[in-house]
Amino acid sequence: MNTNIYKPESNDNINMLPGNPKGLPDESYSHETLVFIDANFLSKVSYHFGEGKYLVYDLIKFSNYLSKKQKLNCKDIFYYTAPPFMSEISKKDEENKIEGYSRFVNKLSKKGVIIREGRCQRLKIDDKYVYHQKAVDILLAMDLMKVPIKYPDIKKIILIASDSDFVPVIMSLEEEGIKTILYTYYEEKRNTNLSRSNYLIKSVHKYVKLNLEDFTSCPIIKDDSTHKNKGPEVGDKT
């Protein structure tokens, strides 16, 4: 009689089957995944690797590339963002940003990317305007909670983010048998807007630091800006 041999996921022996290392019956496992993207965070990482300029890359290729690195196939992409801020009396530069933003998200939507939009809030601090996205994290958390219902076959998801507010949802998904792979980035120094959340990292099944190659491996095809992603959507500064 043939007996299945199971392995922990850290084992690279391809001759062993994925499953429970205690030898329990095969678990139902889908090699498809969902990718959830915090657009504001990803823009900050792009700006960092671009050394003061936003990298230009294909967002859909990027999502598929990260999924393939985990030996998963990307089923759906969720993109969480906010339109640029608009004054009560709109200015020309604000109108231009809205126009560019609308073209970008509409093209993504036509290609099957699921767009979730919050709103942009502008605050004046020390005589300078600061822009913040509002309600975006809540929308992301709501979609994460719906995964077991809408995607019952999905057992692993990919989250591109850095906010520890997602920890309770991640832990809830773990109880439902859904593991979270976190793609994030942080710097080991003070006074940076790319800091590490140990609370978030400890809550996930696995975390991976994004690197420059992840972006440069997903170039835009000439004359096709359909999936182009190059910067933040909330304002000049985030």
- C-alpha to C-alpha distance for 123 and 136, rounded to whole angstroms: 17
pLDDT tops 90 at residue 144 = yes
- Give this prediction's pTM: 0.78
**Residue of higher predicted confidence among 25 and 90:** 90
| Cross-strand pairs, 208 | 183
Q: What pLDDT score does 118 carry?
A: 81
Spatial CA neighbour of 232 closest among 49, 47, 30: 47
* pLDDT of amino acid 3: 44
Kindly list the distances between the CA atom of residue 158 and the CA atoms of 71, 168, 207, 220, 234, in Å, as whole numbers in the listed order: 12, 16, 10, 22, 23
Work out the average pLDDT over 159-185: 96
Q: What pLDDT score was predicted for residue 11? A: 47
Give yes or no for residue 182 having a pLDDT over 60: yes
Model pLDDT for residues 45-65, shown as the tens digit of each residue: 999 999 999 999 999 999 999
State the sign of the Cα–Cα–Cα–Cα dihedral 200, 54, 190, 126.
negative
Distance between CA atoms of residues 99 and 69, nearest Å: 34
- Look at residue 82 and tell me whether its pLDDT is greater than 90: no
Q: Quick one: pLDDT at residue 99?
A: 87
Q: What percent of the chain has pLDDT over 70?
A: 70
What structural domains and CATH numbers belong to the chain?
Answer: 28-229 (3.40.50.1010)
Concatenate the DSSP letters of all residues of the chain into one string. Answer: -----EE-TT---TTSEES-TT-PPPPP---EEEEEEEHHHHHHHHHHHTTSS---EEHHHHHHHHHHHTT-EEEEEEEEE-PPP--SS--HHHHHHHHHHHHHHHHHHHTT-EEEE-EEEEEEETTEEEEEEESHHHHHHHHHHHHHHH-TT--EEEEE---GGGHHHHHHHHHTT-EEEEEE---SSSS-SS---HHHHHHSSEEEE--HHHHHTSPPPTT--TTEE-S-SS-S--
The pLDDT of residue 132 is 59
**Statement: residue 6 has pLDDT above 60:** no
Query: Which residue has better confidence, 81 or 229?
Result: 81
